[in-house]
Amino acid sequence: MDKTWYRIQNKADQPTDVYLYDDIGGYGIDSASFVNELNAIDSSEINVRINSVGGEVFQGFAIYQALREHKADVNVFVDGIAASIASVIAMAGDKVTMARNAQMMIHDGHVAVQGNAADLSKMVELLDRASNNIASVYAERCGGSVEDWRGAMKAETWYTAEEAVAAGLADEIVAGEKRTARNVSDLRIFNYAGREFAPAPKTFDAVESEASKELNIDIDSLINSIKKGLEI
């Protein structure tokens, strides 16, 4: 069987099971293949099971939108990890359930790129727009503003199942079946290799307070620099 990052199981008179258990958009398979199969599903209920560190941002957005627009009730289960764009896909669920030992991670979009200054400038704008779109998905589901969620994303915030429910990113926690978890080595592409290595999520008030302190420090430094300049 050829490798793929998703698997869809249709069973007569039962919910359809969708497994996203690898890098979104990997193995040369784009989201169009997934969306075409998804749109052919006639079930009234779809269970989406996620254990993914993320993948290609725009492929993930297409999957998120297709799930949101599907006529079926969509139940999302985070079996191991929903990181990066996989966490956005999770937000498409009418209900999001975390396994007790599962984790979720949100961060700003990033990409490997090369080119001249104009190329890099365009990529910065594209990434900023994409990250704002991601933040708007979290804000729509959980409350808070786009700016709030961008702050959490820039900090690369990891959540345990309990923390995800507290933040509104998930609805409930279940013991869940024992499933294959991601290796820590899979997570070394991020700043933190999993929730156990990351600081606890901060409240939006705390993030705003830190940002205000940094702004005040910058202003004080500027004033001191100006004073020193006048003294010379």
Residues classed as catalytic: 84, 107
Specify whether the CB–CB gap between 185 and 129 falls below 8 A: no
In which element (H, E) is residue 16 found? strand 16-20
CA torsion, ordered 185, 191, 195, 197, to nearest 10 deg = 80
Specify whether the CB–CB gap between 181 and 125 falls below 8 A: no
Nearest to 70 by CA among 51, 98, 42: 42
Give Cβ neighbours of residue 219 (< 8 Å, ≥ 6 apart): none
Q: In this structure, which amino acid lies at residue 170?
A: A
Nearest to 104 by CA among 171, 56, 59, 5: 171
